[in-house]
Amino acid sequence: MLVLVAPGQGAQTPGFLTPWLDLPGAADRVAAWSDAIGLDLAHYGTQADADAIRDTAVAQPLLVAAGILSAAALGTVAAGAVAGHSVGEITAASFAGILDDTAALALVRKRGLAMADAAAVTETGMSALLGGDPEVSVAHLAKLGLTPANVNGAGQIVAAGTLAQLAALAEDKPEGVRKVVALKVAGAFHTHHMAPAVDVLAKAAAELTPADPEITYVSNKDGQAVATGAEVLDRLVGQVANPVRWDLCMETFKELGVTALLEVCPGGTLTGLAKRALPGVRTLALKTPDDLDAARELIAEHADA
């Protein structure tokens, strides 16, 4: 069985969208999305520097647009399940037919703006803990006033909180943690710091009419498959202020019988986690259109498995 996944914020790099816009119809499609949401996606995906695309209000729509565009370039993808990490859940909602492309981009634009506003209240950020025992790390984070905002599995937890709290973490790592790496994000996402964004996103979601998933949709909240579009939207709203449990998503992939995992552009993060947590599962990350042929071969081999 093939699982199609979409990465979250921090996966973006300057110019990563450039080669994708050379594909037939891609530039026109991105231009239409840009007009619809009032953000020049082509500019930010091809010309903007790292600081510009670190802006939450820019990064989130850019990632969703890239994910949808790269998946569309594959043609029909007969995935057995879909999931996304953090903002990638909106990309996954498009894959599952819950939201059409324009609705997904409109929702993520409002999400990014609301989360950027929330992040501006206090100087906050996120850092990844590499290695260590999860229970020990979580207890240590609590002592420092930090939140385990992403429990990613494969020995990785992402802590979130104020910059002062993160500085304290860098100086005082949990026992067994090899390294603490600051992430390229502009706020403490999936924590109480994002509470103001929940109400904004709830109002935006109320304007949408979601369809029920056409394929299995696995939620970050608890790794469970969600049966209705309405519940997916409810979870998307609440998730901005609650931890991402990617570890539980990967457990569900195992239970479903995953044999291959394909990560859409800008791929790499989730395939890296899967290589460590899902031994024996084939993985492939879409980085540029040069990866499309290999991805199609993977789909052909595993879509019906």
Could you give the residue numbers annotated as active site? 86, 190
Per the CB < 8 A criterion, the answer to whether 63 and 91 are in contact is: yes
Question: Helix or strand or coil: residue 152?
Answer: strand
Tokens 């291959």, residue located: 260
Give dist(CA 2, CA 297) in Å, integer: 12
Q: What is the dihedral of CA 157, 160, 166, 168, to 10 degrees?
A: -70
DSSP state of 223: S
Q: What would the DSSP string read from start to end of 204-218?
A: HHHT--PPPPSSEEE
Give dist(CA 23, CA 20) in Å, integer: 6
Encoded tokens for 302: 């595993």
Return the bridge partners of 225, or none: 218
Query: Which of these, 82, 81, 96, lies nearest to 256 by C-alpha position?
Result: 81
Encoded tokens for 28: 């026109």
Encoded tokens for 80: 């057995």
Tokens 């969208």, residue located: 17
Exposure string for 7-40, b = 16+ CB within 10 A, e = fewer: bbbbbbebebbeebbeeeebeebbeebbeebebb
Exposure string for 170-208, b = 16+ CB within 10 A, e = fewer: eeebbeebeebeebbbbbbbbbebbebbbebbeebbeeb
Question: Helix or strand or coil: residue 268?
Answer: coil
Per the CB < 8 A criterion, the answer to whether 100 and 209 are in contact is: no
